Amino acid sequence: MKAGYRKTLLACCITSALSPLALAQEAQPQDQAAQDAEVIEVRGIRRSLSEAQDIKRSAPGVVDAISAEDLGKFPDTNIAESLQRIPGIAIDRNGGEGQFVTVRGFGPSFNTVLVNGRRIVSETGGREFSFDLYPAELISGAEIYKTGVASLQEGGIGATVNLKTARPFSLADGTMLFSGKALYDDNSEETTPQLFGLYSTSFNDGATGFLISGSYQNRKSQEDFTNTNGWLPTDVENINFAEGVDANPGNVTTAFIPRETQTGRRLQERERMNVQAVFQHYLKDELLLTVDGFYNKFDVNSNATMLGSWYGTPAATSNVILNENGTVLEQDISSEVGILNRLEGRPTETRAIGFNLKWLATDELTTVFDFGYSDSEAKQGTGNGQAVMGFTDDPNDPTDDFHFDNYGNEAQVIYPEAIVNRLLDKDSYRSHVAQYGDQAGDGTGGNSVEASIYQFAIDNVYEPYDGGMLRNIKFGANYSKEDKTVDIVRPSFDVFCQYCFFGIDVPNELVLDFDTSGLLDGVSPDTFRDIYSFNLNDYIGWQTSAEGFAARDEYYGLESGTSQAFYEAQPGGFLGTRQPDSYEVSETIFAAYADMLFEGSLKDMEWKLNTGARLVYTKDEATGSQQNLVSLSQTTATQYNPGFDTSGNEFQSESNDYLKLLPNISFTINPTEDFVVRLAVSETMTRPELKDLAPRLSYLDLRPGSLNAVAGNVNLKPYTSINLDASFEYYWGEINYVSLALFQKEVQNFIVTDNEVVTISDVDIQQPLISADAAIDANAGTIDFNVQRPLNSETADVKGMELAAQYAFDSGVLEGLGFSANATFLDSNAEIASNSDVSTLFAIPGLGNSMNATMFYEKGPIEARISWSNRDEFLEYLINPKAGVEPVFTEEFSQVDFQLTYRINDDFSVFVEGTNITDEAIRKHGRYDEQFILYRNTGPRYALGFRGQF
């Protein structure tokens, strides 16, 4: 390797790849700029790929990177969508946009995400980072560290992802950028604006710099779906089989019956506003202060209307036919049918501020003091809730029964003519449940989250002039404290069910027409689609009106005013109050590290050795409560009515702490100037999910055959992983390379969900119960619940291979054309596949192969790119949060996106973008392929816009 390039390697290592000191992106004052500062002038696809390749090539460990193509122009419209182009990364989507990342098969909670070297608080109830909160225009680059590095914050067994934003001293003075585009959603046929602007300047003879940027995005989308929400394992002795056919060809003892069917449309509006500011000032030539902060407001308002039938109990079914696996192929149902309206808000505000002081203490020692604070809140109110209106069929008239058909790709329910006529008649609709918040307890809505993180770090780099092979020593310490409060807010069951069981007539004016044109064309073709709708707020308004209370009094034969007096005595009414299954977690972390980098040559082969260790102390204090179930009744075949004693729900706190030493060593050698070999061994850790730490027990949706509860465990140990990495990379030209990375992770203390049958006693079980349930002993007042409790148990082994290649033509008729492609293949002893044994309880969600390919063209004023991404089928949930103990698989999914840009001149360009242009849909199934769970279509999106940069 040439000496000049080795110097670049070292500079990149210190200033870009491994050190938290580089994350502030500082530069020198203007009088030194000519010799010391590097101004960011990122232009175009090739320059972006070249910069990312330099970071990958020069890092001691296995690192991948993405660089912005232009200032404020990240490769994709969503940060997560760009990250999925990196080998080993796959994403989870929400509303058609990337939200969470999975790295090397490890889901979002197993990855640490930093912004300029600092953790940013998450608005979720867990540790996962929501990438859709942040506009891609704010990000100038991203680095993905796949091997452990002592100087980086711990927590990512999958990877550590560092997102970088621009600084005024890394931009030319007076830089101004503005862009705008019109986004068209093909499903909703709505066009909405997206705007971004940035201004950066320096003054005071170049000693002071200031940058401010703002972003506004709005999107109106439409999502069409049909689902069963899961399959319930049921003893075949309780099944009413069809006669005259072989209804149980597999002679199974456990049958799987669908929980319900729902078909509908979700209309969603997303509005995101972000303001960011950065101030930099040289207090002295050797002392640089950087202050940065941002404010982000993200509102997601979803309104879903669906037609549903709920029949997850054998008592409601007849003429059942199973396949060889015990899955229901068809059955008749005597049950409920109704319109469900669901509001699913996601109102989020996030704030962050950071202070960074870089001190060139001596010619050999640089010290950085860094303080960061961020907080987030997602307060729910009337923007979350659900309600149902409808009717029941006549249980004594089999001609009214619905027919469930599971022979196609998506299951469907077929209603007889009498039911269809009632569905089309507004006079048929009767009241049922209504609420704000999350009655089901499955986390689908209603949770209010408040969270904050304080963090302080001291980082040092010692670079001896006369150190021989020793190039630098990094050492430092950091402290952080994270507090997270998750309030489960919902009304009491008595309020939720005040008007339930389809008895009281609903005023016709509440039943609204609903446009279902094009709803799931070609999917479940026999499912009824002419759906009415209603407004949840108006529906609850009627239930709390004098008219509604009078109708309830009359229906139940109560004295006038009884219903209103009862409702007014309920704390919180339909908004409800904080529930006992709420929880708080406070986590304090102390860490210290030391890291050394050696460089040298062996027979003209350049080599680097990086070794270090990180010592981490963690203390968790968790607060929770146990719901006290005191009564159970039943007035409809598909739902139990629980009663809880709230008088003794006092929250209790428990704590746990642990100390971990995380060593790492990596060795890089260049057999030739262009060939790089890397070997690394490291130990990394991921802390348990916050919700799993809370000492609480809460009951999920209580239905016949599905009596489930969840419990926490504050004594959980962290996941720890021994990681082996080997990477072989060959580079030529500016952006051309091929690489092969092999890795193995042995994850100890893997947290599994233990399903334990726990008997709850002293329950007043009111007779008669409609459904026969072996778990309930009415005479003894006991109920057997399947309690899902997290435990440290297994050791998970994950092996994988990442293949990547990138090439661009520099001459000839193909000049300007290039491509990049990668594929990741995973294998694990903690992998569960479709058709696995029913008793399997140990698996890692998210494991699955992935592939990406991009073809680009860049010549003259034209830039064009088309990208394809593919993710194989993977386990999403080991235990379905909506339906008991069965798994949920997300099937193979591919997506094609494109971008086309035309540069009018050096300052202005116009562009067009397309996302999911082949109109692919998400599909999920249960343990067996034929156990259809969900089909969801969000449609393609297109954008037309312009950019100006001065």
pLDDT 10s digits, 482-512: 999 988 888 888 898 899 889 999 999 999 9
Average the pLDDT over each of 294-303, 349-358, 450-459, 629-638 and give the range with the smallest value: 629-638
For 788-838, the DSSP string reads EEEEEEEEEEEEEEEEEEEEE--SSTTTTEEEEEEEEEEEETT---TT--T
Q: What's the whole-number mean pLDDT along residues 578-605?
A: 91
Q: What is the pLDDT of residues 283-313, one digit of tens each?
A: 999 999 999 999 999 998 999 999 999 887 7
| Alpha carbon distance 553, 560 (integer Å) | 6
Neighbours of 669 (CB within 10 A): 16
**Residues facing residue 800 across a β-bridge:** 743, 826
Q: What's the whole-number mean pLDDT along residues 638-657?
A: 77
Q: Please give the pLDDT value at position 522.
A: 83
Q: Please give the pLDDT value at position 9.
A: 32
Q: Please give the pLDDT value at position 837.
A: 58
pLDDT at 104 over 60: yes
Rounded to the nearest angstrom, the gap between the alpha carbon of residue 944 and the centroid of all alpha carbons in its chain is: 28
Average the pLDDT over each of 2-11, 95-104, 657-666 and give the range with the smallest value: 2-11
Exposed/middle/buried for residue 726 (C-beta within 10 Å: 0-12, 13-18, 19+):
middle
| Alpha carbon distance 709, 713 (integer Å) | 14
DSSP 8-class letter at 506: P
| Alpha carbon distance 463, 360 (integer Å) | 11
Residue 287's alpha-carbon distances to 475, 478, 934, in angstroms, are 19, 21, 57
Q: Please give the pLDDT value at position 292.
A: 95
Q: Please give the pLDDT value at position 133.
A: 82
pLDDT at 463 over 90: yes
Q: Please give the pLDDT value at position 71.
A: 66
Q: What's the whole-number mean pLDDT along residues 798-809?
A: 94
Q: What's the whole-number mean pLDDT along residues 358-369?
A: 95
SS3 of residue 439 by DSSP:
coil
Q: What's the whole-number mean pLDDT along residues 879-904?
A: 89
Q: What amino acid occupies position 308? A: G
pLDDT > 70 fraction of the chain, expressed in percent and rounded? 92
| Alpha carbon distance 785, 707 (integer Å) | 5
Average the pLDDT over each of 281-295, 520-534, 640-654, 782-796 and give the range with the smallest value: 640-654
Q: Please give the pLDDT value at position 648.
A: 56
CB 885 within 8 A of CB 708: yes
Greatest mean pLDDT range, 50-54, 689-693, 893-897: 893-897
Q: What is the pLDDT of residues 540-576, one digit of tens each?
A: 999 999 999 999 999 999 999 999 999 999 888 888 8
| Residue the block writes with tokens 């092996």 | 799
Q: What's the whole-number mean pLDDT along residues 668-697?
A: 91
CB 38 within 8 A of CB 28: no
Q: What's the whole-number mean pLDDT along residues 689-697?
A: 84
Q: What's the whole-number mean pLDDT along residues 825-847?
A: 75
- 436 or 28: whose pLDDT is higher? 436
Q: What's the whole-number mean pLDDT along residues 345-362?
A: 93
Dihedral angle sign, alpha carbons of residues 467, 472, 473, 476:
positive
Average the pLDDT over each of 335-344, 805-814, 836-845 and give the range with the smallest value: 836-845
CB 492 within 8 A of CB 591: no
| Alpha carbon distance 932, 930 (integer Å) | 6
Q: What's the whole-number mean pLDDT along residues 51-64?
A: 88
Rounded to the nearest angstrom, the gap between the alpha carbon of residue 906 and the centroid of all alpha carbons in its chain is: 38
Given this structure, which CATH class describes domain 3-949?
mainly beta
| Alpha carbon distance 628, 637 (integer Å) | 24
pLDDT at 68 over 90: no
| Residue the block writes with tokens 């088309």 | 866
Q: What's the whole-number mean pLDDT along residues 742-752?
A: 91
Average the pLDDT over each of 356-360, 368-372, 613-617, 811-815 and give the range with the smallest value: 811-815
Residue 74's alpha-carbon distances to 52, 67, 112, 185, 765, in angstroms, are 12, 7, 21, 21, 60
Helix (H) or strand (E) holding 97, with range, is strand 97-103
Average the pLDDT over each of 160-169, 218-227, 631-640 and give the range with the smallest value: 631-640
pLDDT at 34 over 80: no
Q: What's the whole-number mean pLDDT along residues 844-860?
A: 92
| Alpha carbon distance 549, 543 (integer Å) | 7
- 590 or 30: whose pLDDT is higher? 590
Dihedral angle sign, alpha carbons of residues 105, 111, 115, 121:
positive
Helix (H) or strand (E) holding 556, with range, is helix 546-556
Q: What is the pLDDT of residues 818-828, one digit of tens each?
A: 999 999 999 99
- Token pair of 524, please? 């479940």
For 140-189, the DSSP string reads EEEEEE-S--TTSPS--SSEEEEEEE--GGGS-TTEEEEEEEEEEETTTT
CB 419 within 8 A of CB 374: no
| Average pLDDT along the chain | 87
Which pLDDT band, with edges at 50, 70 and 90, does 884 fall under?
A: low
Q: Please give the pLDDT value at position 373.
A: 96
Dihedral angle sign, alpha carbons of residues 667, 668, 670, 671:
positive
Which pLDDT band, with edges at 50, 70 and 90, does 441 fall under?
A: very low
Average the pLDDT over each of 10-19, 62-71, 869-878 and give the range with the smallest value: 10-19
| Alpha carbon distance 567, 665 (integer Å) | 65
| Alpha carbon distance 261, 311 (integer Å) | 8
| Alpha carbon distance 640, 387 (integer Å) | 17
CA distance between the termini of the chain: 38
Which pLDDT band, with edges at 50, 70 and 90, does 834 fall under?
A: low
**Residues facing residue 877 across a β-bridge:** 888
Which pLDDT band, with edges at 50, 70 and 90, does 756 fall under?
A: confident
| Alpha carbon distance 262, 528 (integer Å) | 10
Residue 98's alpha-carbon distances to 93, 641, 868, in angstroms, are 4, 38, 15
Residue 103's alpha-carbon distances to 247, 753, 774, 837, 936, in angstroms, are 44, 22, 43, 27, 24
β-bridge pairing 708-711 and 782-808: parallel
What count of residues does the chain have? 950
β-bridge pairing 764-765 and 629-636: parallel
Q: What is the pLDDT of residues 651-677, one digit of tens each?
A: 788 899 999 999 999 999 999 999 999
Q: Could you tell me which of 431, 434, 309 has the C-alpha nearest to residue 384?
A: 434
Q: What pTM was estimated for this model as a whole?
A: 0.86
| Alpha carbon distance 37, 757 (integer Å) | 65
